[in-house]
Structure 1
């Protein structure tokens, strides 16, 4: 018996669906506060020294945090090839905008202090704002479009046809999800600044973070109500084959109002996901007002976990519905790589993911502590 048959195909597909969620949540929880800090930079810091303090709270860690984005993209490419093909082709312009915004971050970090000119530095500060705000917004917009269904279809030979455009992605519900994403990551960035800074910066971060936490709850509840009354979900109507070949056209599916809430009705335990999303954000608000430092960051991560996982469990087994042809929708059971590929990737993940977690933990342990004005004003060649 070959090693890849030690775990059956159905279980491997489930494992990789969970791992995809772990990687996406890991990106939002780790790189998310970097994006949030960038979004807050022009507002929480009033002087050049204060802005250098804010930048140096994330300067040593942002590159390592982006590993989660690379891992997520790599996992989609290797474990879910049709998902990668449709999403990265259909969302090409949106992905390009995200890439451009993310490129501004390292350039901003490196170039900002090259000149003493206030105009020069202010320009790069706003570039860092764009590098935080734009990806946060577009990632949320993408999730909003996925929940509504993406305009793609397959030919009989599984050739992909995408019939959408960039402006079609900017529909009202998707924009609401984008605002939710911005509020959630801004809340997380503010929690990081409360932990890592002192004085006026920490006070402003607490104020902005409290507002962002409240907006996270409001936008999340509004999105749930909108989904209940105005967004049709998807349901498989044919026999579900969990260990068959990866061909999306082997099934039939329909649009149905309330379908995204079916899993919560059938398995009430899953309601813990949206509850954690709301309670986590509420706890951030309470902890910030109470003057706590570590708790807002932990509760922010809990809220991120709840909000993102609630989307995943609501859609299961769908991972990318088609608004043009529901039968072409991609699910966990019909869009994965082969059993051997999933098994080999699982072995590699079991080896390397713990290493990533270990060195990430070690880095944060070494860099633990606050960044203040004295550190920046000293002749420190390692500070941005």
Structure 2
């Protein structure tokens, strides 16, 4: 069983921390400790700063060089009281990167199918283009926040029958995702092929895509999400290098993808994710079965000529299954609000309420296995991070929920 918050020597994720009375510095987690990277590697211009961007921009050779040095340091023993070593519990963790652009994809075919059945009953749940391209939208980089940041209930236009009002969302939801952090930039106008994924993408974070379903239902046609998703995106404070993750084959893609989306197997990280709502685990799911891989997402994102920039963040889209116990959003767990589910005692939910505490955590299972997709076993053996949030009331007058 994973010890939550305790990173193993094989993980060594990077973050930005501030010790009491100090300035922000780049650190690496070892067990429940954070090691000041500058004390091991030097290079203050890269590591004595408030973000990882300068280090990330150096590229794969530098990433491997620093990781090797940190692995050797970790193997020699790290304990509190040593130079540059702090307890994670004693420091403030900060947003790990200065986010350049944010893109969110729609790469979980189970979530896309579930959402289609809920929102368009009687129609084909998947749009014709779903199996041809990894669909996504451009979000707001400025509202990406680090774990521990409260999320304020958003307001926007909401339709009630024939009437449209403006007010707080009554159908606030989460979506379980992973996010990929770009290190090496690319040239505008030059697409980046899928096989160059590891030359540009540094690592992965836990990502929560917050969604106001009632605002989204009114505004998303014809141009997609806007106010329903722009108010906040939460990520974990630790960026786990791609080399620290086991990778597995993704599902068979039919029809065969176009040439620029071809990528060598394995395609997806073997990562398990669970969500806890007010102390109750309500879903566990695996990222191993995502239909579109992060390499394919990157290739499609740049196909039109858009460049990658250091600090770019892109999300997988909701990781889900057809089993409610492994669904990646409340939209699916409550089937659009029609099926309230029990938390504890007499407490039930369909969507999030003010004061709710949401924790999304991820780990690597001990033995990566495709049979884990949709599984309900306890969260795996190697912790890789979490995103924790409290839902706060909308800034307007007291919230009066609209009928679901």
TM-score range, shorter chain: under 0.3
TM normalised by structure 1 equals: 0.23
Higher Cα Rg, which structure: 1
TM normalised by structure 2 equals: 0.22
Q: Per residue, is there more strand in 1 or in 2? A: 2
